[in-house]
Structure 1
């Protein structure tokens, strides 16, 4: 892993690729850094070689996955520092937020504090956007909020699902609530919510999905959330009876009888390790015990950001897939993730109704 110094351009930093999943708290999985963000509107993060990738497949079933128990505070700071691809402009718990002060010192920011502006969920791979400038962070947050209100997606995720959606693309709308069950926060869909439900924390959520490819009973799906809610994309795919591969929190809610899938009551279904059929395990070259540790195959692939200055064209960041994600696609005979168009303000190929 090699660190390439990023350039000072307005107080914000893009943390490169977040790979794999923490088992305890938010995690970061790093890609070798690359400078040059801001020199063109479309910027592709390109992974370089890794020693771990040369290991035999049996020894490394999920290449690129970093686990918390293998890292100390210094190692995590080093991973984060190496993952900064450019810059512009809970006590005692080892998480991304907890090491931001050390990361700030490691990057030579002195008294400037880093804060998370945009990030995927704790089990999700992809881009993380940090800022050391309060004004820039505020501007970016307003941009994301305004985009959501205008139903303009700024983030594109890719997922591998266990199962194939009934339609090739569409919108998923659901009312969701967060409940604390047996010491765990879980998201539960609410049918026909009342006004009182919304007053008590139920939120309307919306995502657009598109099937990019399918094979071996699985699908590569593009997801664009138009609202923000914890585990929104995982639950939305669950409602399509196609849980995300590696979803050990919600996949148990999908039952099967005579080959037909159906939803089990969320309130009475406890989280458990995802169970995959024997044919899929063979395709993935995994044992049942390895499948129980399968990382969540949900990746924040693209972020759209405003220009550095008000009149500058918007920019797009692209993060390559983690090695274990690419390996899964190869095993399933699915194509690699499209890089998308490069250039000013575009490249997401949105359906017309999302651009209005």
Structure 2
């Protein structure tokens, strides 16, 4: 989770001790970033975001511990690794002190993957954390999505909405953990760590050979959404881990064998680079355009309606939408 962007400030009642952070995807993407987009037909004039392609991308390696704590403290949106690495987890004690929580320890309740931006849910109350974990576990068993991500994909899915099902396993190859699809898994495969995964998707907008896609994972598995979009031959923009599995011959895309395809920097077509106004060197540093946009939490009382938390899109994500002319329908 090294890469937090914007945070926020929580409530009372059973939510006491809860903190929400927006880190660096039916109701639409209703966030501040929505108002940063240009009107239709104005993609040539990007404004202040145009000259800074990765604006808003936070890199803890360039910060001191004190600076990272201050970024996280200032970004609280709602309030009612390894030891040598500077990450969100490593500065939780300082963040707790900065928020005036005294001896109360913060713990991560829900967070996106390491390269994914979006909401990070923290709690300093064990009872609150336990209730939330039970809520998420019950939702997973009931196959009821609680998280909505948005993604920009290189390529457009063949259908506008549907579900993606795949059996996945985690393999350790060349000092890297990679997620690999498994066809027709046996009972032995399931016992040995293969998991059947499911995600819902909906295409929100298309332009320039790319798509703005809403994703709702029903199951939980590392890199699930990235691999699912690769299986649709539409890798997430900035996916430098799995995009190489999609090959192209005479303009037709196809899947390369996952077991023999090593991770490499995502290669984008010249026309797409031109639209994004990026050099090949900049494209090699393109951040993953996968954002945990919305999180559903239980109401204060059993009969209360669920509560929804929204995380603004990072500026670099908004810039990409501008460059590609991707707007909500």
* TM-score between the two structures when normalised by the length of structure 1: 0.82
| Greater Cα shift, 284-293 or 305-314 | 305-314
Aligned pair partner of 2:50 in 44, 50, 57 = 57
Residues 156 and 4 of structure 1: CA distance in aligned 2, closer, same or farther (over 3 Å) = closer
Where relative contact order (Cα < 8 A, 6+ residues apart) is larger, the structure is: 2
Residues 158 and 193 of structure 1: CA distance in aligned 2, closer, same or farther (over 3 Å) = same
Counterpart residue number, 1:171: 163
Cα distance in 2, alignment partners of residues 104 and 220 from structure 1 = 36
SS at 2:79 equivalent: strand
Residues 262 and 73 of structure 1: CA distance in aligned 2, closer, same or farther (over 3 Å) = same
Task: Tell me if 1:230 matches 2:227.
Answer: no
Counterpart residue number, 2:74: 82
Counterpart residue number, 1:310: 302
Query: 1:336-347 residue pairs with structure 2 within 5 A?
Result: none
Aligned pair partner of 2:114 in 114, 122, 136 = 122
SS at 1:159 equivalent: strand
SS at 1:313 equivalent: coil
Counterpart residue number, 2:315: 323
5+ long unaligned stretches in structure 2? 25-29, 36-45
Task: For residues 94-119 of structure 1, give each alpha carbon's deviation from its aligned partner in whole angstroms, at most 9, with x where no partner exists.
Answer: 11111111111111111111111011
The answer as to whether partners of 1:13 and 1:85 remain within 8 angstroms in 2 is no
Counterpart residue number, 1:212: 204
Shift of 1:61: 1.6
Q: After TM superposition, which residue ranges in structure 1, 4 or more long, deviate above 3 angstroms?
A: 1-10, 44-47, 53-58
The answer as to whether partners of 1:14 and 1:84 remain within 8 angstroms in 2 is yes
Cα distance in 1, alignment partners of residues 317 and 181 from structure 2 = 28
SS at 1:206 equivalent: strand
The answer as to whether partners of 2:61 and 2:86 remain within 8 angstroms in 1 is no
Cα distance in 1, alignment partners of residues 72 and 49 from structure 2 = 27
Query: 1:1-356 residue pairs with structure 2 within 5 A?
Result: 8-9=12-13, 10-19=15-24, 46=32, 57-58=50-51, 60-88=52-80, 90-335=82-327
Task: For residues 208-239 of structure 1, give each alpha carbon's deviation from its aligned partner in whole angstroms, at most 9, with x where no partner exists.
Answer: 00111101000000000000000000000000
Cα distance in 2, alignment partners of residues 46 and 287 from structure 1 = 28
Cα distance in 1, alignment partners of residues 132 and 6 from structure 2 = 29
SS at 1:230 equivalent: coil
The answer as to whether partners of 1:15 and 1:80 remain within 8 angstroms in 2 is no
Count of matched residue positions in the alignment of Structure 1 and Structure 2: 310
Shift of 1:2: 11
SS at 1:316 equivalent: strand
Cα distance in 1, alignment partners of residues 205 and 11 from structure 2 = 38
Shift of 1:70: 1.4
5+ long unaligned stretches in structure 1? 20-43, 339-356
Shift of 1:125: 0.9
The answer as to whether partners of 2:6 and 2:72 remain within 8 angstroms in 1 is no
Cα distance in 2, alignment partners of residues 159 and 225 from structure 1 = 13
Cα distance in 2, alignment partners of residues 4 and 202 from structure 1 = 37
Task: For residues 255-275 of structure 1, give each alpha carbon's deviation from its aligned partner in whole angstroms, at most 9, with x where no partner exists.
Answer: 111111111111111100000
